[in-house]
Each structure stands twice: as C-alpha cells, then as structure tokens.
Amino acid sequence: PANKKIGLLESNIVLFFLSALIAGVLFLAALLFWQYFNATQSSNIQKSFLIPQMARIIGGSFKMGRDTEKDVPLEQTPIHDVTVKNFFLSRYEVTNREYQEFVVTTNYRSPPGWSGIELAKGTENLPVVNITWEDAQYYCQWLSKTTKQNYRLPTEEEWEYAARGTDNRLYSWGNEWLSNSTVFADTSLGVTSPVTSTVLSNDKSPFDIIGLLGNVSEWTSSSYQPYPQSTSKIDCSGCYSIRGGNFRSQPNELVATFRTGGKKISDRVGFRIARD
C-alpha cells in the first residue's frame, strides 16, 4: 500500500509539472500573439494615418496653357495639346503633422521655423512650407517605403489637368472669378489656412481636389522650361515648376495656368503627392 501511495504521488507530481508546462507554453503563445496583434494594429493605425486621401483621376487629353493675348504672361503660352494617363492625386496639400511624422521617424531636418521636431499649437493641419524640392522628394520616398505604395510629386501636366478638368476651365471652380473661393492676399490675413478649412472647400477642382489655386503654391516634379513653340525666355537654371497661387497672391496668379519656377525654400511653397 505504501508503494502504491508513493506511485500515486509521483504520478500526481508528474501531472502537475506537465500541466504547468502546458499552461506556461499556452501563456507564452498567448503573450506572443498579443504582442504581434498590437504591433500589427499599431502599424495599421500608423499607415492609416500616413496614407493621404487620394482622388482617382481618369486620364485624358486637354489643352494646356493659354492663348497669347494681352496681359497673359508668356510663360503660360501657347496653348498646346497634352495627354495624361490615369493617376491619383492627394485631395489636400501635405500638412505639418504628416511631415512631422517623416521628420521624427527618419531624423530628417525640420523646416525653418519649427522648434526642433515640435509644432506650434494649432499648426498641425496647416500645409507644410519652407521645404526644398529635394525635401519633398525624400518625403515621397519615405512614404512609399512605409506604405508599400509608389508616391511621388505630380508632373506639371498632371497638376494642370487636375485643376482644369476636361473642360479646360480657367479656375478650379469654373471660368468666372469668385473672390471668396480660395485663400489669397485679400482673404488670408497674411497666413495660411488649414487644408480642410471652409474657405478652401470652395477651391475644389472637377476631380474633387482641394486648394490647388490658393493657400500655398506647390512643387511639381517637372523642370521649369518654356512650353513648346513658346516665345518666353525663362532664365532659371536648375529650377522646378511651381504651380498654383498662395496666401499672398493677387487674383491674376490664381488661374489654373499660373506657373513659376524655383529651387529654394519659401514660406509660400508646399506640395501635394501623386501616385500611378
């Protein structure tokens, strides 16, 4: 009987350790799954935040530029036929908050005017400015790697097509000037507006793109050159085309054909992104 009791005790001890071992394995598996789930959710939340609202634009042909006539700057002339392929364009300009994520994640330099990597309260949803063309390119490369999507700057042709649509309108909202339709010198009080502000909602193109003509001008991927058969003399070596007016622009700069060139930072220039 004593031997039976000892055997039973040994069996119970073995069962206890086996149960403890199984419980430990199950606990470890559950812990690893929870960590993986949290990491996946965190990654998805981050990517969801980073992925901008994109509008799908069906490509087509349109007449780019304007006729050579009185008071039309030569760099906007002449009208010429252009065809663009299907592409996506961000509905809004890249914001300070979106650019901050890039700065923090990559340890990239902050734009002038920032306090290190910190943003002034209330500026999160303003368009990022004071960045070079190269800065915008690095942002696109980082966002492409992070989201597994091929983001880039739009070409000058894509930008104007997105602003004018297939009916070649002069303004993003139509062919008539409306003084309350965007953020410019008369409405801005000398500062930019949040990209989702009410006044910018009036500056909406046929493809539902917001703020193309005002708030801040925008870098494109295209070199700043005269149009084919243009008599314009552009002397801006190494410059890239900048499209759209900004919060300091006068009405004559708020047409969809307005273009200039640059290669330095400006508090009037930001960017939006495209992808195929």
Cβ proximity of 211 and 195 under 8 Å: yes
The predicted structure's pLDDT at residue 35? 52
Cis peptide before 194 (omega within 30 of 0): no
What is this structure's pTM?
0.82
The predicted structure's pLDDT at residue 68? 83
For the chain, the structural domain boundaries read 55-93+129-275
Model confidence pLDDT, tens digit, residues 132-171: 999 999 999 999 999 999 999 999 999 999 999 999 999 9
- Tell me the fold of 55-93+129-275: paralog of FGE (formylglycine-generating enzyme) (3.90.1580)
Cβ proximity of 213 and 253 under 8 Å: no
Q: For the chain, which residues score pLDDT lower than 70?
A: 1-20, 23-50
Spatial CA neighbour of 99 closest among 80, 121, 81, 123? 123
The predicted structure's pLDDT at residue 134? 98
Q: What is the CA radius of gyration of the chain?
A: 28
The predicted structure's pLDDT at residue 155? 98
